[in-house]
Amino acid sequence: VPLKAEERNVTQDVLDLLETKQPLQTSEDFPSIRQAEIKAALDRLASRSMVEYEAHDSEQVLLTPEAESIVADGSHEYKVWKAVKDAGQVPVKEIANIVGAESAKVGQGNAFRNKWIKKDGDSLVLVAETVQDATRDLLKGIQETKTLSDNKTLNELKKRKLVTLTKVIDYSVKKGPKYAKEIPVEVTDLTADMLASGAWETANFKPYNFNALGAPQDAGSLHPLNKVRQEFRNVFFSQGFVEMPTNHYVDSGFWNFDALFVPQQHPARDVQDTFFISDPPKADKPRADPITEATMDTMEAGSRKLFAKPNETGDKPKSRDFEKYWQNVQEVHQNGAFGSVGYRYPWSADECLRLVLRTHTTAVSTWVLHRLAENPRPARYFSIDRVFRNETVDATHLAEFHQIEGVIADFGLTLGGLMRFLEDFFSKMGLENLRFKPAYNPYTEPSMEIFGFHKGLNRWIEIGNSGLFRPEMLEPMGLPKDMRVYGFGLSLERPTMMKYGVNNIRELLGHKVDLTWIKEQPAVRLEKD
Ligand code: PHE
């Protein structure tokens, strides 16, 4: 990078002055050049061993504009005295017209006290033929030396707003071992010619500047949501959770609602709340899906390598009986089954096969739990992906968001265990002292909303929803009666907005997003609040 003109000058000026003066003092020898510029010039020379320098911190006393005018024209009391001396005598009410209001006010008192003038009737008359303007002399001395050793006087002058203190760095500079009158011409590239001729042996190569910042790279970058998502994935993975395949946004009412024991009259199943797909008009009945099944196999196999105990077989599920499941779901809604009285309404297969943009990732958890029923065993699953709700868009709501969801299946689970798990989970993002509020979900009983105290915002905020899945949901799948399943969900957007200090969700997602902002956001760590 070529030097700017003034930088080249400072560098050359330093070399020039070192010819005749050593060491030089930058505050003295280059008083009007900016600190940063001096430093840059010295570093440039020092990196070539052309100079050596030391920095010294010191404090300078500088005059205010008022003090500068006192040095130029004399103190207020001097001006009053001078006016009286020049005129022989001055009527008291005239003095402000001659010396100005400010000088008249401050200066008269001081001139009386110094016995320079006195009052005679209505006039000011002279007492001293000659005077010493001590204030002016004092300030003049400060102007020249930029110092004042008498602390008491210094504080007085500060109070009278005649001086200010500033910190300065002074560099004392001397010649280095490679000092020269000019920066020698430096070679920046090693060429084939130089190698062939041997010129490289004596060439003066420009030193590397390891402090230079690289040119900004026009590279891609992860969206803040993806950075926080990765943090959550790591929390789940570290606790033995297996990721669920959430790679389809469209699902049938069966997986999104019916299998979760959400009645067909439930308000969530209304166009007000849910986006329905009109083409194709309806879904197939639930059936085997080899691709998603294979994805899930791979995810579980990977996790088993890390977490399985020696006696765990990791048997693959047997083939699933979807027809039986379908009938059980219908039965539990319409007539009651598995010890439940059900809802007792005429259940409609058409309603069940309507296609929706999934309203929660619990649709996928349901699919995974039905799979688990073929080989029931303790298991942990999670997903973080997009869900869709027909909501009014405002500063904190969009019609789509990301849901973080976790599911834990085991024997002998209790509500207290769920609370303990959630406390542990949320503490990983700095949220302590959770509070749980009873809530309602058609598919969990009991259900709890989760609140956390956010230290930054200094208030309680709702951070998630949770519960133990109902027998009406689990038993139609064929899961054993004594198996319990925790479920919990939260949004990815909320912690991301908190981490990045974003108040409006539209700055994070959608067409108003500033791509430069996205690019410049640093990585985050969940545990650092
Ligand atoms: N599906 C719930 C939601 O949309 C979250 C949840 C998942 C609640 C699992 C309980 C169990 O908020």
State yes or no: pLDDT of 467 exceeds 60: yes
The protein residue whose alpha carbon is closest to atom 5 in ligand 1 is 489
Cα 360 to ligand 1 centre (Å):
7
Decide if pLDDT at 525 tops 90.
no
Q: Which of 55-64, 241-250, 311-320, 448-457 has the lowest mean pLDDT?
A: 311-320
**C-alpha to C-alpha distance for 156 and 142, rounded to whole angstroms:** 14
CA–CA gap between residue 436 and residue 418 (Å, rounded):
11
- Pocket residue to mutate for ligand 1, from 419, 485, 488, 494, most atoms within 8 A of Cβ: 488
- What's the rounded Cα separation, in Å, for the pair 56 and 54? 7
- Looking from the CA of residue 489, the nearest atom of ligand 1 is 5
What is the domain partition of the chain in residue ranges? 5-64+140-201, 76-132, 224-520
Give the CB-side neighbour count of residue 195, counting CA atoms within 13 A. 4
Cβ-contact 415, 300 below 8 angstroms: no
Distance 464 CA to ligand 1 centre (A): 8
CA 499, 500, 503, 505 dihedral sign is: negative
Query: How do residues 93-151 score in pLDDT, each as one tens digit?
Result: 999 999 999 889 889 999 999 999 999 999 999 999 999 999 999 999 999 988 898 99
CATH fold label, 224-520: BirA Bifunctional Protein; domain 2 (3.30.930)
Residues 6+ apart with CB under 8 A from 155: none
Is residue 485 within 8 A of residue 472, CB to CB? The reply is no
- Convert the pLDDT of each residue in 316-354 to its tens digit: 656 789 999 999 999 999 999 999 999 999 999 999 999
Residue nearest to atom 10 of ligand 1 (CA): 466
Say how far apart CA 194 and CA 197 lie, in whole Å. Answer: 5
Ligand 1 pocket, mutate which of 359, 360, 361 (most atoms under 8 A from CB): 360
5-64+140-201 against 76-132: fold identical? no
CB 421 within 8 A of CB 408: yes
Give distance in angstroms: CA of 380 to centre of ligand 1: 15
Which fold would CATH assign to domain 76-132?
A: Arc Repressor Mutant, subunit A (1.10.10)
Query: What mean pLDDT is reported for the chain?
Result: 90
350-392 pLDDT, tens digit per residue, is 999 999 999 999 999 999 999 999 989 999 999 999 999 998 8
Q: Does an H or E element contain 143, and which?
A: helix 134-145
| Biggest CA pair distance of the chain | 122
Looking at the domain covering 5-64+140-201, what would its CATH class be? Answer: alpha beta
DSSP secondary structure code for residue 506 in this structure = G
DSSP string, 93-129: GGHHHHH-HHHHHHHHHHHHHTTSEEEETTEEEE--S
pLDDT of residue 529: 47
Nearest Cα neighbor of 44 from 91, 81, 4 is: 4
Provide ipTM, 2 decimals: 0.96
Q: Name all residues whose Cβ lies below 6 A of ligand 1.
A: 360, 362, 405, 441, 444, 465-467, 487-489
| Per-residue pLDDT at 528 | 54
User: So what's the pLDDT on residue 4?
Assistant: 57
